[in-house]
Amino acid sequence: MKNFVLSYNASLLRSETHLYSTTFDTSYYYLPEFPGIPFPKFTTRLIESKQKLEGQPEFYGNVSLGYDIGGFSARISVFHQAEFNSTFSASGRSDQVANRYTRVDLALKQRVSDYLSILLSINNLTGVEERASIVNRVNNYTLLNTSERYGLTADLGIKLEL
């Protein structure tokens, strides 16, 4: 077990903000000149609501397991990000939400000499899609808005230390 490396980090975020907005109240009144005909009276009322901040997932974390021996190093990592609110709509009927996802990446490094190393980084081994949804909090439903599949990507590099 002496050549194995385990690293991890996790962040738990709690955020909230207070918003002030207005709502309309409707009441009806009757005039003696027009019996039985209701006339609406609209009044504006200030309301306060509490919600999470935009752009902040409640949880994200990374776990990486690696192996180092001689000039060779390998790391496989799992990254997870919880869903979060991208933007809020004024009516609560079209709030934008970035969906949660979990991605697996691989990084390899081979030292060739004291000053030269070769690096290979392979991202998104599991082909995870990044999705965003529209949430209607008034009628309590969610619709998929966008879905991006970046697929597997790889970077090959040479590190020269002078």
Region 28-57: what's the mean pLDDT? 90
pLDDT digits (tens, 9 = 90+) for 113-138: 999 999 999 999 999 999 999 999 88
What is the C-alpha to C-alpha distance for residues 35 and 29, in angstroms, rounded to an integer?
Answer: 10
CB 69, CB 105: distance < 8 Å: no
94 CB burial (10 A radius; 0-12, 13-18, 19+): middle
Phi, psi angle pair for 53, to nearest 5°: -75, 155
Region 6-27: what's the mean pLDDT? 89
pLDDT digits (tens, 9 = 90+) for 51-83: 888 888 999 999 999 999 999 999 999 999 999
